[in-house]
Amino acid sequence: MRTKNEAGRGVGSRAAQAVRAARPPRIGGATRRAAMAPLLGVVALALGACGGLRPAPDAGAARTLATPLADGRTAEGGVVDAFMFAEKPGDVAIDPVAHASGAARATGVIEPRHGSSWGGIALSMSLQRSGRALDAASSRTLAISLASAGSGTLRVRLVGPNVALRDSGCYPVATVRVEPQLKEYAVPIASFMPESYCGANAPAGVAAAGTLSAVEVADAVVTPGRRRQVDFTVGTIRVLP
């Protein structure tokens, strides 16, 4: 609150007497406490309301987007989901996701017996409740914890709320070479690019990060005539300035 300085003070004894005469009578201890109680209650309510406020995220600081929990959710209010995809039905099989505190593990099999030239198994982590999008465009790096025992390469995708782009696979991707042990990889957001078959309207990394609703990780390596076990893990996902 801004305060003002006093002005127009009286000078001399008469002015002092006038000021003293205008002062209210003193209030006794019990009466004073009774008079102050409603005011204290209002102050307590105001402080309680202020205590519920939370500062906005600092654009210049690291920000955690998803922390997997053992119940299939994330600590930030999102959900961990898994799905499979293939050019021909029956060429990919997925197991139930193994959820743990701090990581989610996807397993299954890719076996293109019916001639699929593409296919895979993916884990998707929504970043907020009800799939709401957030703005991470000011961040430069996606820091994501990954491990893979079945392939040395995983595909990471930035996903937004546009259903047509999502279903056509035209949100931008980056390929990450990973090791069997879970560790954090720093991927520049500017390196995420849409697939070659997508049109000119498909967003690149920075544009997609501006309305980011999920991060998807997939093992999408298909080898003709070969049955391959899929086994990868996704941990905490962050963005860095």
Q: What is 189-217 written as a DSSP string? A: GGG-B--TTS-TTS--HHHHHTTB-EEEE
Average of per-residue pLDDT across 50-66 = 62
Instruction: Note whether 59 and 239 are within 8 A (CB).
Output: no
Q: How far apart are CA 205 and CA 194, in angstroms?
A: 8
Q: How far is CA 158 from CA 36, 50, 81, 222, in A?
A: 57, 35, 15, 22
Tell me the pTM: 0.75
* Chain mean pLDDT for the chain: 83
Could you tell me the domains of the chain?
13-51 (no CATH), 63-240 (2.60.120.430)
pLDDT digits (tens, 9 = 90+) for 207-233: 999 999 999 999 999 999 999 999 999
Q: Among residues 121, 41, 138, which one has the least CA distance to residue 86?
A: 121
Q: What is the DSSP letter of 94?
A: E
DSSP annotation of 110 reads E
